[in-house]
Amino acid sequence: MTIPTYDLHDGHKIPALGFGTAGIRGREGAAIIADAIGAGYRLIDSAFNYDNEGIVGQAIRDGGVDRSELFITSKLPGRYHEAPLARYAVEESLLRMGLDYVDLYLIHWPNPSKDLYVQAWEGLLEAQRDGLIRSVGVSNFKPHHLARIESATGVLPVVNQVELHPFYPQAPLLEHHAQAGIIAEAWSPLGKGTGVLEEAAVTAAAQAHGVSPAQVLLRWHLQRGALPIPKSGNPQRLRQNLAVFDFELSANEVDAITALGREDGRRFDGDPDYHEEY
Ligand code: A2P
């Protein structure tokens, strides 16, 4: 099975769906990630702060797929924003994963109260110039954070990974990103713990297409131009989440799911203007 790709504005391509690894740890976790690679995932999404880059590296070695076929992402922790720490974090990530480059490295959160994310961005751009990172991006950035790094460096991220699911569909942000040529990656694409998989708009579409509610949500992301990175520790479900390229939701089905959005639909109080992670 081949996963379609999106074009990044720096000339690289990214798989349109990836495997999330937050919370997947230990040798058992390495086996799950290697199984995901064997099942067909090519984009593996990790982070320095997931404390699992070591097992991601192990899974890459065990997965039976050439490294050049894989698209590996990690993320810069808040405590490493300041120069030259950002560079050290990238080097540490590479050593933990046993790689000589990473496909995509993101600033994990802007942490605006520290006001160091422009330095972090400059550090990632330097690591990119030196060949440690292929593509540079951000996570949990709002348009005003994006404008700030663009005005400081002239470079916009290729990707912004944000909370995105039917209870928090972020239509204005998706529109902004489409205009700017930024791919929106969805974290918590299945709305973990929110009950969205049981919503009638989702279950009705699932029944109509003979697929699961989770597959409907993944399709909803793809048809909105977003890039979902579902996590599953279960061999059947991780395979099911890949089987979303042979059916299509109608525009009405997409709209009915988007209409589940709520002003306060975030999974927790993760407003990037206030929520900070280090
Ligand atoms: P599990 O690991 O037991 O499969 P999100 O990616 O939105 O954070 O959601 C992850 C959660 O969704 C995990 O708890 C995962 O549980 C569950 N999940 C993943 N894939 C599916 C699926 N196809 N159907 C139902 N639940 C799923």
pLDDT in tens, 207-263: 999 999 999 999 999 999 999 999 999 999 999 999 999 999 999 999 999 999 998
Average pLDDT of the segment spanning 138-149 = 98
Residue 90: pLDDT band with limits 50, 70, 90: very high
Contacts with 126 (C-beta within 8 Å, 6 or more apart), sequence order: 87
Averaged pLDDT for residues 140-146:
98
Q: What is the mean pLDDT of the chain?
A: 97
Point out the ligand 1 atom lying closest to the alpha carbon of residue 241: 23
| Separation of alpha carbons 190 and 218, rounded Å | 7
Residue 1 has pLDDT above 80, yes or no: no
pTM of the model: 0.98
Check whether the bond before 110 is cis (ω within 30° of 0): no
Which residue is catalytic, options 41, 50, 80, 117? Answer: 50
Among protein residues, the one whose CA lies closest to atom 6 of ligand 1: 230
What percentage of residues in the chain have a pLDDT greater than 90? 98
What is the atom index within ligand 1 of the atom nearest the CA of 228? 6
Nearest to 137 by CA among 54, 72, 199, 207: 72
Question: 101 C-alpha vs ligand 1 centroid, how far in Å?
Answer: 29
